[in-house]
A and B are shown apart, each in its own frame.
Chain A
């Protein structure tokens, strides 16, 4: 069964304190690994898609990387506005390309 596991469940950082979020996956026929940001009461906001091991993508203070079993979301010098829940999802093949999500990491950045 396809599974995505994120760690830690919650992370508190001081402003400027860099860290990484982990996403491990077992998804058959993986068509892509996605990162989303979700603010309370809102829908997930797309951040990155990674397709193959070794691929990296960056956006402002965020960088996503992918290996054959894991993905990491690195946050460099975070700001309070980066506080949110970060969701990782594997896209399974087989026709539907449905997303299989982890439970998310709730990030809090204190000023």
Chain B
């Protein structure tokens, strides 16, 4: 059983460019979460999917951010017109959601630097 994987691990881009990150969850997990973490802070919730449906988005997720999970498998997070404030670690987590089992398992993250 492989864990959650994310690609790329690192991304450097110039302000104004678009970037896309990919997350592959643990295979049988039906929920997928995106979080953002800046230096010295804990991860902050961005959005989550149950199967292919995006069920909640945080106020942190501006209109420049969009996430998809086609067919309920992998997910992508796209940031359009990047800004320096978007520099952060983007973390993906997955869980097999059922009552009494809410544990989320995290991937290694994608570190984004916007110049």
Contacts and interface: CB of A to CB of B under 8 A. Distances in A.
A51 B41 CA distance: 24
Interface stretch (B11-19, B69-77, B79-87, B101-109): B101-109
B43 interface: yes
A41 B111 contact: yes
Interface string A86-104: 0101010001111111111
A103 B6 CA distance: 23
B91 interface: yes
A69 interface: no
Given A32-B102, A101-B43, A103-B40, A96 B48 contact: yes
Interface string B86-115: 000001010101001011111111010000
A45 interface: yes
6 tightest A-B CB contacts, nearest first = A101-B42, A43-B106, A98-B45, A96-B56, A44-B106, A43-B109
28 contacts: A34-B104, A42-B109, A43-B91, A43-B106, A43-B107, A43-B108, A43-B109, A44-B43, A46-B104, A49-B102, A87-B43, A89-B42, A91-B102, A95-B56, A96-B55, A97-B31, A97-B97, A98-B33, A99-B35, A99-B43, A99-B45, A99-B93, A101-B42, A101-B43, A102-B42, A103-B40, A103-B42, A104-B42
Given A34-B103, A46-B105, A89-B42, 12 more contacts: A4-B42, A32-B102, A36-B106, A41-B109, A43-B106, A43-B107, A43-B109, A44-B43, A46-B106, A97-B95, A99-B93, A101-B44
Interface of B: 4, 6, 31, 33, 35, 40-45, 48, 55-56, 91, 93, 95, 97, 100, 102-109, 111
